[in-house]
Structure 1
Amino acid sequence: MKDHVHHSAATGYKTAADTYVRGRPDYPPQVADWLTATLGLNADTSVVDLGAGTGKFTARLVATGAQVIAVEPVPQMLEKLSEAFPGVLAVNGTATDLPLPDASVDVVVCAQAFHWFSSADALTEIARVLKPGGRLGLVWNLRDARVSWVPKLDAIVNALEGDTPRFYTGAWRRAFPHPAFGPLQAQQFGHGHTGSPEDVIFNRVRSTSFVSALPAAERARVDEQMRDLIAAEPELRGREVLTVPYVTEAFVAVKTL
């Protein structure tokens, strides 16, 4: 199954599981209503957390009362998820090889994940396990580039991405339209990630797959670039607690076949 996982994810997330837990932002409160009202999750439904990682979004799904099945191909990430959510069924799998029967779940959610496997084949496999009328939810947390210093931080990260799939390029959209799904419907929510600079800036960047996969000397250079950015920005310099602004993009598509 490793052959189906992009090399940046297979290498970077293997070593970054702990940093991922510390550095990744949570999701805004509005997501709770989106999960229940838009995706229809409740105690009578089942949901697959596809590309579940360490379980950052799993807690949101568990809170709906739905039966949650977490699917993740990187063993180190899956181990963290299982430790955090012992009551959740956590299984190894990929978007093109889901270990589930046909028409067996009500909802599939991909949080911070769909760009890794966005393809017609993945959507066909997701449609296979969804019940008729089932829903596919896609969620991403993005730094809000409308705040002046955020594009400077993004530039440090983006310069290193290589061939790694990213949400912001829009390439994931090429998987749509797909004959099994209706049109994508989008919503957007704003929020912030508050904490120490070590977590909300340094560990967030370090948890990026292709940054984590760099040799130690190159990772040290990235840290130095971030220190220089913080020193140069009055909004960041000398602060023990920072809030990084985020926008959450949420999409849903309904299975039509």
Structure 2
Amino acid sequence: MADVVHRINGHVATREWMHQFATDPSGFMTKVVESQDTDNQELVEPARVVEDEDAVQEDETRPDYPFHAFDKLDEVLHLQDRHPSAVYDIVEIGAGQGKLTKALKRVLPGGTRFAAVEPNNDRRTEFRHFMSDVPVFDGTASATTLPNESVGNIAIGHAFHCMAKANALDEFHRILVPNGRLGIMLNTGDFNSCPFMQDVERVVKSFNAAYVPSQPNHDQLQQIFHDRPHLFSPMQSQRIDTVFSASVDGIVDYLMSTCVMANLSHRRQTDVRLSIARLIEMNPDVTEDEHGEHKLELPCLVELHWVQKAQALQDTPAQHHPDDVVMQSC
């Protein structure tokens, strides 16, 4: 198989260089850093804050939702018997560039009325570029700007952390029609399912970084609804195994776009990228397509979680917290 050679920050990562990364990444980087003519401030560059640019990259590199993941979508969303007050059948909250909306549009009838809410102006512009027929509103999870009982279903992808905001569930309850559904649809790499992913975990941990993206488990999602049980029904869930087939660069870009990775310093991101590229080069499952591009299939997991709006909002005061606890998504 031909060598996979990557250019990282303008420098060609040779096979020998990547081999040293894979066998002793931390020790090798110690030698590299000591040989660099750089000042101490650069060497101890702090982890940066994830900016909008990172969120856009993450949206572009994340695995798409496969068709078969939505085989039982009618169990997740309330798609029959449209309520008379519903202006929109499905609204994606925190839509970003609209990856989830695009996936839903592929599998639902043409007459389905979509809309989206996204607070970032640049991402709204990107959304409109890809789906000019879907209105996208400037709003947040706790202030969508949508009318009361105007939404049949709310769909949330990897912006699910917005639900941890104190007022978000009240806002979702307000805009949903009676018996409307709130669906959370996550699509991530299955990081414990194959030796390759375990090797990636080992490499990343060697740089003193947590590997597994901070996705919530079932109990954590349940906890979000725990304090306001009168708003929604108990949560139900489905898990669907799937595969993300992409170029080697695409796989590396996806793994590097996770929140944990994006918060690493620029230098450490380069270190991790080189190590992952080397692991992929050594992977016997890498194939070559008719155009000579190297491909790898990454095991993924689609998680569908949903609740239904309670019939009536009880007069129970909202439990506001002085500091919102936000679960990080990836």
**Partner deviation per Cα, 1:136-171 (whole Å, 9 max, x = no partner):** 001111222222222343566686469x96335954
Deviates more, 1:182-191 or 1:13-22: 13-22
For the Cα contact (< 8 Å) 2:173–2:231, is it kept in 1? Answer: yes
**2:177 aligned partner, one-letter code:** K
TM-score, length basis structure 1: 0.81
Alpha-carbon shift at residue 125 of structure 1 (Å): 1.2
CA distance in 2, matches of 1:214, 1:74: 23
Question: Which residue is equivalent to 1:86?
Answer: 132
Judging changes above 3 Å, is the alpha-carbon distance between structure 1 residues 202 and 253 closer, same or farther for their aligned structure 2 residues?
same
**2:194 aligned partner, one-letter code:** V
Counterpart check, 1:107 vs 2:153? yes
Counterpart check, 1:151 vs 2:198? yes
The Cα RMSD (Å) is 3.0
Judging changes above 3 Å, is the alpha-carbon distance between structure 1 residues 92 and 109 closer, same or farther for their aligned structure 2 residues?
same
Secondary structure at the counterpart of residue 66 of structure 2: coil
**1:205 aligned partner, one-letter code:** L
For the Cα contact (< 8 Å) 1:105–1:129, is it kept in 2? Answer: yes
For the Cα contact (< 8 Å) 1:115–1:167, is it kept in 2? Answer: no
Deviates more, 1:51-60 or 1:217-226: 217-226
CA distance in 2, matches of 1:43, 1:204: 39
Match of 1:202 among 252, 266, 269: 252
CA distance in 1, matches of 2:139, 2:167: 14
Mapping of residues 68-147 of structure 1, within 5 Å: 68-144=114-190, 145-147=192-194
**Partner deviation per Cα, 1:95-139 (whole Å, 9 max, x = no partner):** 111111111111001012213433452212111110111000011
Counterpart check, 1:167 vs 2:216? yes
Question: Which residue is equivalent to 1:7?
Answer: none
Question: Which residue is equivalent to 1:176?
Answer: 225
**1:66 aligned partner, one-letter code:** T
Structure with the greater alpha carbon radius of gyration? 2
CA distance in 2, matches of 1:67, 1:161: 40
Match of 1:190 among 228, 237, 241: 241
Alpha-carbon shift at residue 26 of structure 1 (Å): 1.1
Secondary structure at the counterpart of residue 149 of structure 1: helix
Counterpart check, 1:35 vs 2:73? yes
Percent sequence identity is 27
Secondary structure at the counterpart of residue 241 of structure 1: strand
For the Cα contact (< 8 Å) 1:111–1:140, is it kept in 2? Answer: yes
TM-score, length basis structure 2: 0.65
For the Cα contact (< 8 Å) 1:109–1:136, is it kept in 2? Answer: yes
**1:190 aligned partner, one-letter code:** D
Judging changes above 3 Å, is the alpha-carbon distance between structure 1 residues 160 and 79 closer, same or farther for their aligned structure 2 residues?
farther
